[in-house]
Amino acid sequence: MQSKKVTITYYDEYGVWPHLADELSSRLPLRNLHWNPSIQRPLRTIQSLDVDMKRFTYDSAPQPLLSVQTPYLNLYFVACDDNDSYRMSVKRQIKAWMDVITTKKNQEWMLVYVAGQDTRKGASYLGLKTSVYDKIKNDFNIGKRDRCVYLRSASSEHADSEDWVDFINKMKDGIMTSFDAQVQQYQDDTRRLDLQRQMPGWNYCTFFILKEGLAHTFETMTLYEESLIQYDELEASFFQVLRDKALAWFGHVGGSSPGDDSSNVLDFKKKPYRELINKNTISVFDFRSYLFARQCFLLLKLQRPIETCARAQLFISNMTVTIKENDMPVEDYLESWIFSACTNIVNECEPIATHLATGNPDILPIYNAAKADLLILARKQLDKLGVKHGHLPDSTPFNMHIDKNVNTKKRFSSGAEVTDKEPMTNQKLREAVVSREAFDKMYMALSTRAIKGYDQSNRVRSALCAHGDIASFKFAREKYDEAARILDSMTWRYGDQHWSYIENALLRKCAEAQKKLGNTRQFLECVLTLLKNASELSSEEAEFYTNELLDNVQNMEEEIHRQFSPIFIVSDVVIVDDFATVDQTNIRICVDNKLPKALHFDKLSLNLVGNEPEHITYEINDQTLNAGLNVFNLSSQTSAAGEYVVETCHLQFGKLSFAHNFLHEGHEKHILRLNHDIQKLFVDVEQPGSVTLGERQNFAVSIYSGNENIKEGTFLLSSLSEGLDIPLSEEYTATLKNISDETSHTIILQVNESGQIKLPALTTDQKIGFLISYDGPWNENQFRIRSKADYVTADGSIRSFHSADFVDILIPLTVTESSIFGENCIYLKVEASCNGNIPARVLGSCLEPSASYEIENQSINENWDLTLFPRQVSTFVYKLKKQGGSTGSLQSKEHFVVKYQTLQSEVEAGIKAKLNTKLKEHNLGQHLNHIWKHIRKEFLSHIDYNDYGLTETVRVKYFDAEVCESFLLHRDLKTKVELLDLIEEFFQHNAIISQSDIRKEHPTISERALSFPLDVPRSRVLHTVELILPNDTYMHVNEPCEGTLKIKQSPYWASEESVEDASSFFVYEIEADYDNWLLSGKRKLKFSSKVGEVYEFPITLIALKTGQIPLPPVKVHSVSSSIFASTLYINSAQQVLVRPKSSTATFFVEQQQRFVQQRATAVQTPYSETGHQRAALTAVDEVVGN
Amino acid sequence: MSIDINCIAVIGKQNNPLYIKNYSSSHPDLKYHYIAHTAIDVIEERVLNNPKLTDAYLGLLYAMEDLAVYGFMTNTRVKIILVIAVTDNVVKDADIKAIFTKVHSAYVSHVCNPFHNLDQDFVASKRFSNAVDHIGQQNSRATIDV
């Protein structure tokens, strides 16, 4: 569209224009014009301005108001060399021209003097004569402004001299001056008119024309921005007027002229709009079309395609309302108009946008989005038309855009009227309505073009929407595979963000398409997804799809896996193991079926994860899942104890399976504490009641059949502790005991190839007990072992038992032994003491004979009750004799067997029995093992058993509800509270327990036996030493007494292999006490000795004191360190009476001299002085006999 | 004030619909689900192009035939979308803003419920839906042809 140009008139009386025209047009358009507005506007620069040259005419017809083509500048070309002719005629002519010009408002004028080649500019040399140019200047220049220009004619060589520059500049000045004046004029006028808005008779149209004049003025000067502002202001005031309902002059809505429905909205010359406005006859439709067209025109001039599209959107929606509200004379007017408007605008904007994008690709996404919006809008018109004319079904999404209210109204009011209307005039649409092929082509073209636009502008969701429409379109055209392909690839995008309503709308189509295509699997997947969003489905639909699901689920070939939620919801996972209601541990889960119909499922299973075993599955088969809440009790083939995390839940319908993972991030772990099924097979492993130290140790395994009939089974015990090794043996001897009638018999358990012990058939209430030996470190007092039993019950179900627990290994007593050899017997002293801090009751003891020794004498006491406290020692002495007769079945070592019971086990057994009774009363017996384990650890470890041993009462002071609660976790609240209350009550009642109480509760005190192997030497080199004195009852002091040391190596203790005449060297040593004895002879002597031989060594002893004096001890050592020699000293601890000498002495203590004499005699005495003096000083008469 | 509210939609942070309610009688719900869904595109575009956006009110998102779609995004990226019927009257931003603020405060008081779990699926409370419906119906086309 051509824009307006600035008009300049010229008056060419002298025919110079042809000479100048080329020159001038080469300098056009004018460049760099500066507008310095006189009011409140910043300086504007106009880069380039096109100018329209027109010949001036005198026909002074008054300028119509509507004309916008007012000249800005009037030129008068003068070519006159002659002063006279100037004075005569030219001046007058100019004057006449000027008179006309100056009457015109806001128009500048300029006189152009065109000089001939010889004409000189300016004054003559002498200044006598003034030139014509000077004269003109003098005559016509008013004020300061120089409105005269001097030009040389075009043929001149100096054509491009400064004259031309001057001329152009003055032209620019002139244009700007007159422009500024015009702007000011318009602004003043509009402001005045605007102020009168409230006055009666004010006319919007007049105002519009006036203001638009300003806009035109700006437009002429290529100041499009300014111009657009004027239109925007006009639009705003239009709406203002509209709101004030002062639009009396818009009598009719309009838009009813032929072709209005398809005309180009951007064409503002389609109708004589300005005239219509001026005449106050314009319709609202036309007026707004015109206003919009003008705005778009300016926007496109400003190269703003994005804004154009955006404004178009708003304009179209505004107009939609107007058109809708009025009955248009053309059928499908609205659709046709919107479609035309959209396509027109896109067509206009497209080239500009592509052009702009080469310089600035950033605008493309935004433009594409706006464009795509318009295209989609156009396509929606196709939707509506398609539905109306039967090209598309009357269903979503095609009928989505049809206003139901309007439609029904129309259908109601005008059944026949419809035909009266003219057909729409948009050719393309008419074609589409007539031909389905054209319709389809257009539909697809618009959609794909819109998708392309959205894709380029990153509007994924809008593109998705269009894709969905295409799929629906394909579906309507029964191109099911295409529809299914598109839908398959996109529906999840809605589902992903929970737009299930839309997803469902698409899925319905997808499901139907897949069904028609015969893709059962895909069909079912669609149905499942639909059912997933069942909350958005109507109940009939839900039922329909459920039926579809059920009908098809059996025909599936592959498996389909789906999430539980939201079709099914699992909740409330609770253990039910009280045996009043169930016969084995059950897990009760609640499945909420959101489908409106009952379903029959094959299997519902719940997987738990824990330690031993790592996985347990609880399941239930072949049940019906009703609509709504369902409760199922799941059971397991595995009996296990411990804490288990609920991992997954599976629901199986044929090939279709639903899974729910409980271990999702963010969700709390659901932990269940399982107890062993106490009524099923149960395995107990403990330290055996009788322990023999020094041998390989055993675990005592007891397998209880519970209330099960077991056909066969296997059992495996494996180690979980470091260093503990459980070697396999070929077979085990076991006792099979009927618990009810206490009968038992021995059976042999075989071990199969894989190392498992085979279990025999068991009936209810039977127990198999056997020992399994192990190798492990001695100092450990706990081993962790795993026991696992797999078995088949009589009714054929395969079950298993798992447990992994600590087995306490206690040796609460220690013994030390020592032995003393006699001539033909040995005395054994055994000292027993507590090993640790817990007192033990010794209930009996005995010494078991060995192959070497028989017990000649022992005090067997079976019914002892001796409490042995720590740091106390109990001593047992036995006399042993060498085994005489057959020694066949006896052990090689003597064993000291203690029957005992620690006070701890006594107390604990008592409390446990009490607790068990208590729990069973409340039907909570299944928790005993778990609770006991913790109670023992937490509350009973503080009991002072020494105190109990002394006072015979237990004080359980320590009860902490918080601790108690901590081990009761992972059960349902009811069970937890029940147990907590129960335990608390139990401890309140049993804070002090007496021994009799305990014994009453647990009358059969489980006796434990410890068997200690003792080291009694088998053989020794035993020397019998006898000191033979002449008189072994008395002797005299200071008198030598000659004796004989008789040493004999005893044959009784000689080891059998050393019978041959090997002699070895020994040393005897008399350890005389020199205070009492003087010894003469060999105090220490090495001698060679042989079994059975007697050696005699003479010694002399002199007693130094009187009284009963022990004989000096004698020992025999072996020279070589390899032979252990012991001595049997017959005279050991024998005392001999030492008498004084058998002389009498009378002393008279009269004179001093006597002492002196006596001293002299003392010197003569050959014996020691001290001895003599003492003897003298005793002053006692002694009669020495003999 | 005569704003014909056709639909109020509350969209979650993850662009999941929390609450979509159609107050018009002229169009099926599906249309408004689509509108709300595609409006997210425009909101995302707006937010991306104005990273320093401080006002929660995003203004007119787009117009489609006789419907205008307005957007609002809270600090927690919960989006509120308002679909109104276009009339000849110029709709003032302030009016739209006021509606948004009302819906927003209804949402805020809903999530302030200590029993409401933000991480779980949004369950519109009765109070919340009443509050929103009140806003929607109060402003919806009150003139029913009698």
d(CA A233, CA A210): 13
Containing A623, the helix (H) or strand (E) segment is strand A615-625
> Which chain A residues are within 8 Å of B42, Cβ to Cβ?
369, 459
- Give the gap in angstroms from C-alpha B28 to the nearest C-alpha of chain A: 6
| pLDDT tops 90 at residue A447 | yes
> Which chain A residues are within 8 Å of B119, Cβ to Cβ?
666
Partner-chain residue, chosen from B31, B41, B87, that has the shortest CB–CB distance to A462 = B41
Helix, strand, or coil (residue A859): coil
How many alpha carbons fall within 13 Å on the CB side of residue A945?
21
B67/A377 touch (CB, cutoff 8 Å), yes or no: no
The CA-based diameter of chain A, rounded to the nearest angstrom, is: 211
- Give the gap in angstroms from C-alpha A183 to the nearest C-alpha of chain B: 30
> Which chain A residues are within 8 Å of B68, Cβ to Cβ?
317
Partner-chain residue, chosen from B34, B41, B64, that has the shortest CB–CB distance to A459 = B41
Amino acid at A1103: A
A317/B65 touch (CB, cutoff 8 Å), yes or no: yes
Alpha-carbon dihedral of residues A1164, A1168, A1169, A1173, nearest 10 degrees? -100
The pLDDT value recorded for residue A247 is: 58
B65/A314 touch (CB, cutoff 8 Å), yes or no: no
d(CA A9, CA A23): 17
The predicted-structure confidence for A146-186, as pLDDT tens digits, reads as follows: 777 777 665 555 555 667 777 778 888 888 888 888 888 88
Containing A1109, the helix (H) or strand (E) segment is strand A1107-1110
The predicted-structure confidence for A785-830, as pLDDT tens digits, reads as follows: 999 999 998 888 899 999 888 888 888 888 888 888 877 788 888 8
Of the candidate ranges A188-192, A274-278, A435-439, A687-691, the one whose mean pLDDT is the lowest: A274-278
> With 0-12 CB in 10 A as exposed, 13-18 as middle and 19+ as buried, what is A863?
exposed
Partner-chain residue, chosen from B40, B68, B89, that has the shortest CB–CB distance to A317 = B68
How many beta-carbon pairs under 8 angstroms link A with B?
107
Secondary structure of chain B: what % helix, strand, coil (to 5)?
35, 25, 40
Partner-chain residue, chosen from A321, A324, A502, that has the shortest CB–CB distance to B33 = A502
Terminus-to-terminus CA distance in chain B, angstroms? 21
A1183 dihedral zone (left: phi>0; alpha: psi -120 to 50; beta)? beta
Cβ density class A491-500: b for 16+ within 10 Å, e for less:
bebbbebbbb
Containing A406, the helix (H) or strand (E) segment is helix A404-413
Say whether residue B42 is in contact with chain A using an 8 A CB cutoff: yes
d(CA A748, CA A790): 19
Band of pLDDT at residue B104, cut at 50, 70 and 90: very high
Band of pLDDT at residue A1186, cut at 50, 70 and 90: very low
> Which chain B residues are within 8 Å of A239, Cβ to Cβ?
88-90
Contact by Cβ (8 Å): A174, A108: yes
B37/A401 touch (CB, cutoff 8 Å), yes or no: no
- Structure tokens given for B54: 């401080």
| pLDDT tops 90 at residue B70 | yes
- Structure tokens given for A919: 């729990």
Same fold: A6-195 with A1021-1105+1112-1131: no
> Which chain B residues are within 8 Å of A396, Cβ to Cβ?
28, 30
Q: Which residues 20-39 of B have a C-beta within 8 angstroms of A? A: 20, 25-31, 33-34, 37-38
| pLDDT tops 60 at residue A356 | yes
The predicted-structure confidence for A54-90, as pLDDT tens digits, reads as follows: 777 665 544 544 455 667 777 777 777 777 777 777 7
Q: Which residues lie across from A73 on neighbouring strands?
A: A8, A108
The chain B residue lying nearest A236, using CA atoms, is: B90
d(CA B33, CA B36): 5
| pLDDT tops 90 at residue A215 | no
- Tokens 């269903």 label which residue? A395
- Structure tokens given for A581: 């209601």
Q: Which residues lie across from A76 on neighbouring strands?
A: A11, A111
Partner-chain residue, chosen from B16, B27, B67, that has the shortest CB–CB distance to A497 = B16
Helix, strand, or coil (residue A358): helix
> Which chain B residues are within 8 Å of A324, Cβ to Cβ?
66
CATH class of A688-808: mainly beta
Question: In chain B, pLDDT over 90 holds for what percent of residues?
Answer: 23
A380/B65 touch (CB, cutoff 8 Å), yes or no: yes
User: Which of A199-213, A227-241, A644-658, B68-82 tops mean pLDDT?
Assistant: B68-82
- Give the gap in angstroms from C-alpha A454 to the nearest C-alpha of chain B: 10
Mean pLDDT, chain A, integer = 80
Q: Where are the alpha helices (DSSP H) in A422-519?
A: 427-434, 436-456, 460-476, 480-496, 500-517
- Give the gap in angstroms from C-alpha B131 to the nearest C-alpha of chain A: 22
- Tokens 């909570």 label which residue? A924
CATH class of A559-674: mainly beta
Of the candidate ranges A122-136, A359-373, A595-609, B86-100, the one whose mean pLDDT is the lowest: A122-136
Q: Would you mind telling me the total number of residues written for chain B in this entry?
A: 146
B88/A322 touch (CB, cutoff 8 Å), yes or no: yes
- Structure tokens given for A885: 């007769």
Partner-chain residue, chosen from A242, A317, A465, that has the shortest CB–CB distance to B38 = A465
A401/B29 touch (CB, cutoff 8 Å), yes or no: no
Contact by Cβ (8 Å): A286, A254: yes
User: Which residues of A touch chain B, with CB atoms under 8 Å apart?
Assistant: 239, 242-243, 313-314, 316-318, 320-322, 324, 338, 366, 369, 373, 377, 380, 396-397, 399-401, 403-406, 454, 457-462, 464-465, 494, 497-499, 501-502, 505, 666
Say whether residue B50 is in contact with chain A using an 8 A CB cutoff: no
> Which chain A residues are within 8 Å of B29, Cβ to Cβ?
501
Containing A1021, the helix (H) or strand (E) segment is strand A1021-1028
- Rounded to an integer, the average pLDDT of A837-860 is 82
> Which chain A residues are within 8 Å of B60, Cβ to Cβ?
314
- Tokens 């003792």 label which residue? A1014
Partner-chain residue, chosen from A239, A313, A501, that has the shortest CB–CB distance to B63 = A313
Partner-chain residue, chosen from B15, B37, B89, that has the shortest CB–CB distance to A465 = B37
Helix, strand, or coil (residue A1101): strand
Of the candidate ranges A332-336, A616-620, B97-101, the one whose mean pLDDT is the lowest: A332-336
> Which chain A residues are within 8 Å of B89, Cβ to Cβ?
239, 242-243
Band of pLDDT at residue A5, cut at 50, 70 and 90: confident
Contact by Cβ (8 Å): A377, A450: no
Say whether residue B86 is in contact with chain A using an 8 A CB cutoff: yes
Question: In chain A, pLDDT over 90 holds for what percent of residues?
Answer: 3
Determine the topology of domain A813-900 in CATH: Immunoglobulin-like (2.60.40)
- Give the gap in angstroms from C-alpha A238 to the nearest C-alpha of chain B: 10
This complex has an ipTM of: 0.90
A243/B89 touch (CB, cutoff 8 Å), yes or no: yes
A318/B86 touch (CB, cutoff 8 Å), yes or no: yes
A317/B25 touch (CB, cutoff 8 Å), yes or no: no
Say whether residue B47 is in contact with chain A using an 8 A CB cutoff: no
pTM: 0.67
- Give the gap in angstroms from C-alpha A185 to the nearest C-alpha of chain B: 31
The chain B residue lying nearest A566, using CA atoms, is: B121
- Give the gap in angstroms from C-alpha B65 to the nearest C-alpha of chain A: 4
Terminus-to-terminus CA distance in chain A, angstroms? 175
Band of pLDDT at residue B134, cut at 50, 70 and 90: confident
CA A74 from centroid of its chain's CA atoms: 84
Contact by Cβ (8 Å): A625, A600: yes
Contact by Cβ (8 Å): A591, A625: yes
Q: Which long-range contacts (CB under 8 A, 24 or more apart) does A982-990 make?
A: A982/A918, A982/A919, A982/A922, A982/A924, A983/A931, A983/A935, A983/A959, A984/A959, A986/A914, A986/A915, A986/A918, A987/A939, A987/A956, A987/A959, A988/A959, A990/A911, A990/A914, A990/A956
Contact by Cβ (8 Å): A1099, A1045: yes
> With 0-12 CB in 10 A as exposed, 13-18 as middle and 19+ as buried, what is A179?
buried
Partner-chain residue, chosen from B38, B45, B87, that has the shortest CB–CB distance to A321 = B87
Partner-chain residue, chosen from B14, B28, B66, that has the shortest CB–CB distance to A400 = B28
Report all structural domains of chain B as residue ranges with CATH numbers, in order of start.
Answer: 5-138 (3.30.450.70)
Partner-chain residue, chosen from A313, A458, A499, that has the shortest CB–CB distance to B33 = A499
- Give the gap in angstroms from C-alpha B91 to the nearest C-alpha of chain A: 11
Determine the topology of domain A6-195 in CATH: Rossmann fold (3.40.50)
- Give the gap in angstroms from C-alpha A971 to the nearest C-alpha of chain B: 24
| pLDDT tops 60 at residue A1098 | yes
For chain A, domain boundaries? 6-195, 559-674, 688-808, 813-900, 904-1008, 1021-1105+1112-1131, 1140-1186
Whether CATH 3.50.50.60 fits A1021-1105+1112-1131 = no
Alpha-carbon dihedral of residues A803, A805, A809, A810, nearest 10 degrees? -120
Partner-chain residue, chosen from B15, B27, B90, that has the shortest CB–CB distance to A497 = B15
- Cβ within 8 Å of residue A73, ≥6 positions away: A8, A9, A107, A108, A109, A110, A171, A174, A175, A178
Of the candidate ranges A125-134, A1032-1041, A1109-1118, the one whose mean pLDDT is the lowest: A125-134
d(CA A62, CA B31): 59
User: Which of A31-40, A628-637, A1148-1157 tops mean pLDDT?
Assistant: A628-637
d(CA A636, CA A858): 58
Cα separations (Å) of A309 from A316, A367, A379, A776, A1168?
10, 8, 16, 88, 147
Helix, strand, or coil (residue A19): helix
